[in-house]
Chain A
Amino acid sequence: MKTLFTRSLVVASLVLSGGALADTALLNVSYDVTRDFYKDYNPAFQKYWKAKTGENITLQQSHGGSSKQAMSVASGLSADVITMNQAPDIDLLAERGGLVPTDWQKRLPNNASPFVSSMVFIVRKGNPKAIKDWNDLVKPGLQVILPNPKTSGNGRYTYLAAWGQAQKAGGEAKAREYVGKLFANVPVLDAGGRAATTTFMQRNMGDVLVSFENEAEMVAREFGRGSFEVIYPSSSILAENPVSVVDKVVDKKGTRKAAEAYLNFLWSPEGQEIAAQNYLRPRDSKVLAKYAQQFPPVKLFTVEEVFGSWKKAMDTHFKDGGTFDQVYARK
């Protein structure tokens, strides 16, 4: 027993010290569905970094539900960069412990979001319920699958997209009515985007799944293109994917230069192209033009345009007792 114990201590200390001898290592803490993108992007950056500086760089990934991931970073998970699907998750780091400055979104172009996505409808093959636009989702008896707006970025964007398009068409009262009807058609509220997709594709529940454009592509890869159709509504929300260096961590680890380069490279033609290949809408107009075929034009509105700011949207709609609770409780 004694030797076993000693041996296990030796093994443990070897593993613990292992991290210290490696080259520069960056930890990218991200949300659930970006795995495929960073799987392609990380090797490209490693190559670029090697060519530029002659150094090898190790890139580590952590994926999970976006808000949970943000909380982990706030609690001390030492992320060099954080790549999320909405600004409030990075704002959290400014509020709790000042890990990033409050103006983090101004440090990089395009609101610090190198690519965007949008909410689209995924319907069963042949579109049996003839779903074409938002108004079709509130037809009586239709089942809509979407995740809980309180716990998932995916659900939040869906809610805001639904509200925004209705408000643009008929004002706030109409928007409230529309969203109420929409959520009356939702049989289950899954906790995250991935879980909602599984409900729709694997458990075969519902007539339409509302999700990110790039998630639809993931479904296509995994379940085959013949099993469903993607419907683009006439207007939708611009879902930004903001990124930031986590200042407190990089300054302590001395990895700021590499971390900043890692994020800047997202805006390079190569980074933008990898985004496009993963069905994330690139910001670079040239790359966007090249992949125009896979990104049908949709009228996109931003959160700021309709709701003033993310903070206002969060406070009015997703706080306890907020608009979402009101419309969902009325069901």
Chain B
Amino acid sequence: MASLSTAAPRGIATTEPAWVRYTFTGLALTFLGLFLLVPLVSVFAEALAKGWSLYLDALIEPEALFAMKLTLIAALIAVPLNVVFGVAAAWSIAKFDFHGKSLLITLIDLPFSVSPVVAGLTYVLMFGAQGWLGEWLSAHDIKIIFAVPGIVLATVFVTFPFIARELIPLMQAQGADEEQAALVLGATGWQTFWHITLPNIKWGLLYGVILCNARAMGEFGAVSVVSGHIRGETNTIPLHVEILYNEYNFVGAFACASLLAVLALVTLALKTLVEWRAARQLGNDVPLEARARLAAAK
């Protein structure tokens, strides 16, 4: 997640001859071109293979529109929930000492280390008809999996760490000095949070939200397990892409895939913008995240 390249200091820091530097740069660029750029371009090439009108038709087809709507809903619920959770978790981890802190950090990282398919299956085991809560849910006519709540749950699960992980090093680096000063001057806890902590972390938070959102909209594995694949009811864009592909509807599949590719590009642009703004506001040439990491390491 963390782009390590941005952490390197500006200017020439090596003494290697020019040809070594150019060879390595060339290698890196070729690799990126072959494995990132070409596939990305091919998505658009396939999507537009039969012309613009078919491309647009594939996008305004009702089932595609529904998939977009559901993807947006899942992200609209998952991202705010993770904002609240992420800020709370980072706040408590960075500003306080308590028992079980390392356990909490480990738990936050769990979704990174668990395969999304496994995450989906655990929800099936929990809420499925033969799962732990299955009988009770079915008796009360509550639908979790194979319905929108299941999709939202799965999305929340896989995007859990993004915001917290972004904020923890930042908040740790900032320390609690300013908050303490505010408290000493008579501010309430809420005022301190609102006027001191939040402005301090705002760029890091935004950065986390962007990444969280990108993942929420692009998640396939976990959502695929709990979705049930009902067209026009529980299909998100990534699932819709797979179905269309399996139906040999390549234009449709790649048209929808191009939406996700555009999302990736927008995410990238926003991320760069946020980094740039944050760096400017901090009056420092070193990007936000790197600054936090450096400070945290000291």
Give the nearest-CB partner of A11 in chain B. Answer: B73
Residues on B with C-beta less than 8 A from A8 are: 73, 76-77, 80
Bound state CA distance, A190 and B84, in angstroms?
A: 44
Q: How many residues of A contact B (CB 8 A)?
A: 32
Least CB distance, A17 to chain B, in whole angstroms:
11
**Does A16 lie at the interface of the complex (its beta carbon under 8 Å from any beta carbon of B)?**
yes
**Does A77 lie at the interface of the complex (its beta carbon under 8 Å from any beta carbon of B)?**
yes
Residues on A with C-beta less than 8 A from B53 are: none
By the criterion CB–CB under 8 Å, are A74 and B230 in contact? no
By the criterion CB–CB under 8 Å, are B145 and A35 in contact? no
By the criterion CB–CB under 8 Å, are A194 and B230 in contact? no
Residues on B with C-beta less than 8 A from A288 are: none
By the criterion CB–CB under 8 Å, are A61 and B129 in contact? no
Residues on A with C-beta less than 8 A from B173 are: none
Q: Known: A4-B80, A62-B231. Contact between A75 and B131, CB under 8 A?
A: yes
Bound state CA distance, A166 and B192, in angstroms?
A: 81
Contact of A64 among B69, B130, B229 (CB under 8 A): B229
By the criterion CB–CB under 8 Å, are A61 and B248 in contact? no
By the criterion CB–CB under 8 Å, are B145 and A76 in contact? yes
**Does A222 lie at the interface of the complex (its beta carbon under 8 Å from any beta carbon of B)?**
yes
- Chain A, interface SS category: helix
Residues on A with C-beta less than 8 A from B247 are: 35
In chain A, positions 190-210 with a C-beta closer than 8 Å to chain B are 194
Contact with B along A1-28 (1 / 0, CB 8 A): 1001101110110011001000000010
Residues on A with C-beta less than 8 A from B229 are: 62-64, 69, 72
By the criterion CB–CB under 8 Å, are B231 and A61 in contact? yes
In chain A, positions 265-296 with a C-beta closer than 8 Å to chain B are none
By the criterion CB–CB under 8 Å, are B248 and A218 in contact? yes
By the criterion CB–CB under 8 Å, are A9 and B77 in contact? yes
By the criterion CB–CB under 8 Å, are A19 and B233 in contact? yes
Least CB distance, B228 to chain A, in whole angstroms:
4
Give the nearest-CB partner of B229 in chain A. Answer: A62
By the criterion CB–CB under 8 Å, are A97 and B129 in contact? yes
**Does B111 lie at the interface of the complex (its beta carbon under 8 Å from any beta carbon of A)?**
no
Residues on B with C-beta less than 8 A from A60 are: 230-233
By the criterion CB–CB under 8 Å, are B128 and A76 in contact? yes
Contact with A along B207-243 (1 / 0, CB 8 A): 0000000000000000000001111110000000001
Kindly state the interface size class of chain B when it binds its partner.
20 to 34
Residues on A with C-beta less than 8 A from B145 are: 75-77
**Does B106 lie at the interface of the complex (its beta carbon under 8 Å from any beta carbon of A)?**
no
Least CB distance, B168 to chain A, in whole angstroms:
20
Give the nearest-CB partner of B144 in chain A. Answer: A76
Contact with A along B61-96 (1 / 0, CB 8 A): 000000001100100110010011000000000000
Least CB distance, B77 to chain A, in whole angstroms:
5
Residues on A with C-beta less than 8 A from B69 are: 15
By the criterion CB–CB under 8 Å, are B246 and A194 in contact? yes
Q: Known: A35-B247, A63-B243. Contact between A96 and B148, CB under 8 A?
A: no
**Does B271 lie at the interface of the complex (its beta carbon under 8 Å from any beta carbon of A)?**
no
The residue in A16, A19, A29, A76 that gathers the most chain B C-beta atoms within 10 A of its C-beta is A76
In chain A, positions 96-119 with a C-beta closer than 8 Å to chain B are 96-97
**Does A236 lie at the interface of the complex (its beta carbon under 8 Å from any beta carbon of B)?**
no
The residue in B84, B243, B247 that gathers the most chain A C-beta atoms within 10 A of its C-beta is B247
By the criterion CB–CB under 8 Å, are A11 and B76 in contact? yes
Q: Known: A11-B73, A60-B232, A62-B230. Contact between A5 and B80, CB under 8 A?
A: yes
Bound state CA distance, A298 and B153, in angstroms?
A: 50
Least CB distance, B240 to chain A, in whole angstroms:
12
> Could you list 15 examples of A-B contacts with CB < 8 Å?
A5-B84, A11-B73, A15-B69, A16-B147, A19-B233, A60-B233, A61-B230, A61-B231, A74-B129, A75-B131, A75-B146, A76-B138, A97-B129, A218-B248, A222-B248
Residues of chain A touching chain B, judged by Cβ–Cβ distance below 8 Å, are 1, 4-5, 7-9, 11-12, 15-16, 19, 27, 29, 32, 35, 60-64, 69, 72, 74-78, 96-97, 194, 218, 222
11 other A-B residue contacts (CB within 8 Å) besides A15-B69, A62-B230: A8-B76, A12-B76, A12-B148, A15-B70, A16-B147, A60-B231, A61-B231, A75-B131, A75-B146, A76-B129, A218-B248
The 6 A-B residue pairs whose C-beta atoms are closest, nearest first, are: A76-B129, A75-B128, A8-B76, A222-B248, A77-B146, A77-B228
